[in-house]
Amino acid sequence: MKNLFPIAACLALTATSAVALDAGFVSQMQTTAQKLESDATAVQQALKNKKHDATEVKAKIAAMSADVAALHQLVKQFEATQPQLSGRDQQDWTLMKDRVAVLGIFHDNKQRLAAEDLGKHRGMVRAFADGVALRAKLLRESALKLQRAPVT
């Protein structure tokens, strides 16, 4: 019994040295990713039709730009706090940060092609919108993992 007490104390100290990730941060990440996924899906659906409304599609793409910028800002804000994450939590954070970066690349490519000639690049813009929607969904799932993740 005496041998178990130091082990239990170490485990308790390790568990209590971490606090839950800020729920507001996770909520913002999830909400922004959800909006981005919804807008990307709307762009994808609109571009299925050859006679799409280019103004509406470009407006959705502009809204997506604001969401991508918000995600990048949230990542910067979180990293500015320089949280100490456990190994598993650090992996989850790195995955989420990488997903935001890849999402930004997909969005930038889609935005560039749409600005050049939406009619000509309709298929590629639609494919990039599909990629953004998928990555936004994965980002929401990553944020859920971080919600349970502790930071110190």
Q: What is the pLDDT of residues 101-152, one digit of tens each?
A: 988 888 888 888 888 888 888 888 888 889 889 989 988 888 887 776 454 4
Rg over CA atoms, the chain: 20
DSSP-assigned letters across all residues of 52-106: --HHHHHHHHHHHHHHHHHHHHHHHHHHHT---B-HHHHHHHHHHHHHHHHHHHH
pLDDT over threshold 90, residue 17? no
Go through 35-54 and write b for each residue having 16 or more CB atoms within 10 A of its CB, e for each that does not.
bbbbbbbbbbebbeeeebee
Q: Does 59 or 84 have the greater pLDDT score?
A: 59
Contacts of 75 by beta carbon, 8 Å cutoff, 6+ apart: 96, 97, 100
What is the predicted pLDDT for the residue at 4? 42
Structure tokens at 10: 């170490």
Predicted TM-score (pTM) of the model is: 0.75
- Cα separation, 147 vs 68, in Å, equals 20
The residue behind tokens 């809204």 is 63
25: CB partners within 8 A, 6+ apart: 74, 77, 78
CATH number at residue 103: 1.20.120.660
Task: Provide the domain limits for residue 143.
Answer: 4-151
Number of domains in the chain: 1
Between 66 and 11, the more confident residue is 66
Mean pLDDT of all residues in the chain? 79
Kindly indicate the confidence band of residue 82, based on its pLDDT and cuts at 50, 70 and 90. low
- Using the predicted structure, report yes or no on whether residue 72 has a pLDDT greater than 90: yes
Residue 15 above 60 pLDDT?
no
What would the two tokens of residue 13 be?
């100290």
More confident position, 14 or 146 = 146
